Structure 1
Amino acid sequence: MTRGGRAKDTLDETDSPERRCIVTGESQPIGGLIRFVIGPDGMVVPDLAGKLPGRGIWVSADRGALEQAVKRKLFARAARQPVHIPDEFPDLVHDLLTRRVIDLISLARKSGHAVGGYEKVRDWLARGDARILIQAHDGSARGKTKLRPPEGQDRHITCLSAQELGLAFGREHVIHAALAAGGLTVRVVEEAAKLARMRGQIGVLVAGED
């Protein structure tokens, strides 16, 4: 995996441009960073889709980094103006990122690039249709070991709960899901890696065994 948890050539994605984190001072691919902009009212606004107008301010996708950015008033320094930061800012960013991962998986499902449920996922894996295996972190460990991620790097996502994954499929709970190649798969992997880092989870994208 590349810096910032970004899946690289194993998902047919070219190198992304780099930006500098205002907390660490280090440059890294934007896949490992969260972009913020300053609104007309001086409010710091998370721009998870990277499409809002204005000069981008970049912070590593990490709760500790966000806490430091707020504590040390680094947003104001980067913007060179007074800014307003919403209450419980790291929690707000975490919740928005969680919603974004769920929504991206939902869009992938609607376009036919994602399936949920043990039987469907098993069939996709057997046919070689699955590019990414997604499993709820609170699912049965024994049940999850019955399915193996596709071979290659960064093919296993485990940062969502069964309830959160269920939201992407319009169900109460989902333990197993899979993504096909193409579509939104690269974006799901990238955003899931950010969410994993925000949650302090290690190994959320792991290599499939050879």
Structure 2
Amino acid sequence: MMPSPRNEPDQRLTAREDMPTGDAPHRQCIVTRESLPQEAMIRFVRSPDGIAVPDASGKLPGRGAWVTANRETVEKAVEKGAFSRAFKVKTAPADGLADMVETQLANRCIGLLGMARKAGVAILGFDQVRNYLRGSAPGYLLEAADGSEDGRNKVHFLAKALYDTPRTAGALTSAELGMAFGRERVIHALLQEGSLSDSFATAYKRLTGFRAAPEQDWFSGRIR
């Protein structure tokens, strides 16, 4: 028996609502002073020449300063000189700091999708995605930001009819999805359920703090 469709909730969640909590390390934002799970924040480090640069992967050496993972808060950190206070020495933000963060986060998402392709847990193409949905629940639906409304609606509403509130990512372009999957362009794809789709969920949530998530409007009935 097929699962009964349910009402779809508003997918607009704060970082705190959509990020793991539990025993995950917490950090204090240098702007808001709020303590949040590390996965909901962006780490910054001070370069040898005194510039604050993003370290979205959290792997660069040195002392880190943490900012809530959204564009507005990063821009406030720049405006208020928060990095100099955090590092206790004059520290200038890199030019276009929020855009640098967005690029790092997009690359993280692309890298995870590439891992999914190599692991054989990614399905590509309109017909292939729809055929997969008829037999199994998706971990994450991927729709290109510049894809057609008709095509993505056919994928989404099939998934919604069969499964409970399918997760959909629409902030990556067809070229970015193509880069992830080794093709020129990809419009429709999905990740199978599993650890990689869960990792992608966390990475994608951080990205949408810096880049619009069009899927919030695509299937909501709101007029754009």
- Which TM-score applies when normalising by structure 2? 0.79
1:44 corresponds to 2:52 = yes
Given that residues 105 and 188 in structure 1 are in contact (C-alpha distance below 8 angstroms), is that contact kept between their aligned partners in structure 2? yes
Instruction: Tell me, in whole angstroms, the C-alpha distance in 2 between the residues paired with 1:175 and 1:181.
Output: 20
Identify the residue that residue 81 of structure 2 maps to in structure 1.
73
Query: 2:16·2:36 contact (CA, 8 Å) conserved in 1?
Result: no
Residue segments in structure 1 that go unaligned for 5+ positions in a row? none
Structure 1 partner of 2:211? 199
Match of 2:152 among 120, 144, 150: 144
Q: Which residue of 1 aligns with 2:198?
A: 186
- Structure 1 residues 15 and 132 mapped into 2: Cα distance closer, same or farther (>3 Å)? farther
Instruction: Determine if contact 1:3/1:32 at 8 Å carries over to the other structure.
Output: no
SS at match of 1:98: helix
Q: Name whichever of 83-92 and 131-140 sits farther off.
A: 83-92
Q: Does structure 1 residue 175 correspond to structure 2 residue 187?
A: yes
Contact residue 102 and residue 167 of structure 1 kept, 8 A: yes
* 1:19 corresponds to 2:27: yes
Name the count of aligned residue pairs.
204
Which moves more between the two structures, 156-165 or 198-207? 198-207
RMSD: 2.7
- What is the CA distance between 1:105 and its match in structure 2? 0.8
| Amino acid corresponding to residue 60 of structure 1 in structure 2 | T
Are the counterparts in 2 of residues 37 and 46 from structure 1 also a CA contact under 8 Å?
yes
Q: Which runs of 5+ in 2 are unaligned?
A: 1-10, 220-224
Output aligned runs, 1:82-101, within 5 Å: 82-101=90-109
Residue 71 of structure 2 is aligned with which of 63, 68, 78? Answer: 63
Native 8 Å contact 2:45 2:54 kept in 1: yes
Whole-angstrom CA distance in 1 between matches of 2:170 and 2:16? 14
Provide the identity percentage.
39
1:26-46 residue CA offsets vs partner (Å, 9 max, x unmatched): 222222211112234333232
**Structure 1 residues 90 and 154: alpha-carbon distance in aligned structure 2, compared to 1, 3 A threshold:** farther
The one-letter code matched in structure 1 to 2:61 is P
Q: Identify if the C-alpha distance between structure 1 residues 76 and 44 changes in structure 2 by more than 3 Å, giving closer, same or farther.
A: same
